[in-house]
């Protein structure tokens, strides 16, 4: 897929949501969302916590004909279980003890626009039939009422786990799953699109503290790229923001949290050197060469080019370490 990176970034920044990427899977997802935006089909976003599902939902809404109406966002997981139905569908006065007045639900608030239901996997199973009916009939019924209210809403839902697995476990209705699974889109975690990390660093530094003109050292950037980011983009932004608050001029390896600069080197290498395991044309010998060369570079980067310390870090004799540098023609370190 041939897409000009700078054009893509500039285009998406002109809308109010910025999705910074050069990753082919993410660029493909953006194209899929643009196509889906031309219809009212329900979109199901699947991805780990922190990958930015809300951001992609916003992108979809802004590319649709409904962009001039409201995008109502709610995380089902944050709603008290006893109030989920009232929050989604509204209630009439006197419907329950604390219902002192009538209240419109989120469906009515989103009328004419889009409704984003995050963490749909946390929806209580007893409420799933009512959501299914609302999606199928485009009508809702407030708690305590017998009157139906038509709603014109585009549904966007997100799940942090496979809904099909929940169906198999009996905790999610199959009929609701098939109704939601019209346009399923899986958003990859940050560790599977490491090529985006330098771009994200540049973007965040420009947005957070542009007046400080902060740069990132080669070693620190490599550590950021190599880290596994279990919390995904959310964790990345929080950590970078924290680091920039206490740095002037340059972010070095020493400025990074222990979990980033202290991860086991073998684990970091395997996670970072995805080329070795993804390119089908690489045979066993090619993989070994790629991994060992990257491990040598990594050790030198961590030790700021000091060959003695790098050799010690890898448990090698200095002479053996030098021989390997020569073998892989790592001339920048010789």
> Domain spans of the chain?
5-188, 191-333
Cα–Cα–Cα angle for 237, 52, 185, rounded to 5 degrees: 155
Threshold 0.75, pTM exceeds: no
Give the tens place of pLDDT for each residue, 134-193.
999 999 888 877 788 999 999 999 999 999 999 999 999 999 999 999 999 999 999 899
User: Which range (188-192, 249-253, 257-261) has the least confidence?
Assistant: 257-261
Q: What mean pLDDT is predicted for residues 104-119?
A: 93
SS3 189: coil
Q: State how far the alpha carbon of 197 is from the alpha carbons of 161, 204, 216, 221, 237, in Å.
A: 24, 10, 12, 8, 11
Query: Would 5-188 and 191-333 be classified into the same CATH topology?
Result: no
Question: Angle at CA 252, nearest 5°, toward 194 and 198?
Answer: 25
Element holding 103 (H helix, E strand): strand 103-104
The residue whose two tokens read 């020493």 is 254
Q: SS3 letters for 118-132? A: ECHHHCCHHHHHHHH
pLDDT at 6 over 50: no
Greater confidence (202 vs 145) lies with 202
Specify the pairing of strand 90-91 against strand 103-104: antiparallel
Instruction: Give CA–CA dist 327/293, Å, rounded.
Output: 9
Q: How do residues 303-316 score in pLDDT, each as one tens digit?
A: 777 887 777 777 77
Q: Let me know: does 244 contact 251? Beta carbons within 8 Å.
A: yes
| Domain 191-333 part of CATH 1.10.8.60 | yes
Q: What secondary structure letter does DSSP report for 139?
A: E
Q: Which residues contact 285 (CB under 8 A, 6 or more apart)?
A: none
Is the CATH number 3.40.50.300 carried by domain 5-188? yes
At 10 the pLDDT is 31
Confidence category of residue 15, pLDDT binned at 50, 70, 90: very low
229-242 pLDDT per residue, tens:
888 999 999 999 88
If DSSP codes are grouped into helix, strand and coil, which group holds residue 80?
coil
What is the overall mean pLDDT for the chain? 83
- Are 238 and 49 in contact by the 8 Å Cβ rule? The answer is no
Beta strands in 160-313 (DSSP E): 183-186, 215-216, 250-251
**Cα(277)–Cα(253) distance, integer angstroms:** 27
**Position 11 confidence tier, pLDDT thresholds 50, 70, 90:** very low
| Burial class for 98, CB neighbours closer than 10 Å (0-12, 13-18, 19+) | exposed
What is d(CA 114, CA 83) in angstroms, rounded to the nearest whole number?
21
């Amino acid at each position: 897929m041939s897409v000009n990176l700078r054009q893509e970034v500039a285009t998406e920044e002109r809308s109010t949501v910025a999705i910074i990427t050069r990753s082919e899977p993410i660029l493909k997802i953006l194209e899929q969302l643009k196509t889906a935006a031309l219809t009212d089909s329900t979109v199901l976003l699947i991805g780990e916590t922190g990958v930015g599902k809300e951001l992609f939902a916003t992108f979809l809404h802004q590319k649709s004909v409904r962009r001039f109406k409201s995008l109502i966002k709610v995380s089902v997981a944050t709603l008290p279980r006893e109030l989920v139905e009232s929050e989604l569908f509204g209630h009439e006065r006197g419907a329950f003890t604390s219902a002192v007045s009538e209240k419109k639900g989120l469906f009515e608030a989103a009328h004419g626009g889009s409704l984003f239901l995050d963490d749909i996997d946390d929806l209580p199973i007893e409420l799933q039939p009512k959501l299914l009916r609302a999606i199928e009939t485009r009508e809702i019924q407030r708690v305590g009422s017998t009157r139906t209210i038509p709603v014109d809403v585009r549904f966007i839902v997100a799940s942090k786990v496979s809904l099909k697995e929940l169906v198999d476990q009996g905790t999610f209705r199959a009929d609701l799953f098939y109704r939601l699974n019209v346009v399923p889109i899986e958003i990859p975690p940050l560790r599977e699109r490491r090529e985006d990390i330098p771009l994200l660093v540049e973007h965040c530094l420009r947005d957070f503290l542009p007046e400080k003109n902060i740069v990132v050292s080669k070693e620190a950037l490599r550590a950021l790229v190599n880290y596994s980011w279990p919390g995904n983009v959310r964790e990345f932004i929080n950590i970078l923001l924290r680091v920039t608050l206490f740095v002037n001029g340059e972010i070095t390896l020493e400025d990074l949290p222990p979990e980033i600069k202290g991860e086991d080197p073998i684990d970091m290498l395997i996670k970072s050197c995805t080329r070795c395991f993804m390119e089908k044309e690489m045979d066993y010998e090619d993989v070994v060469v790629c991994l060992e060369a990257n491990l040598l570079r990594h050790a030198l980067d961590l030790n700021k080019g000091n060959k003695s310390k790098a050799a010690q870090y890898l448990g090698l004799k200095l002479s053996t370490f030098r021989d390997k540098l020569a073998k892989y023609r790592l001339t920048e370190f010789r």
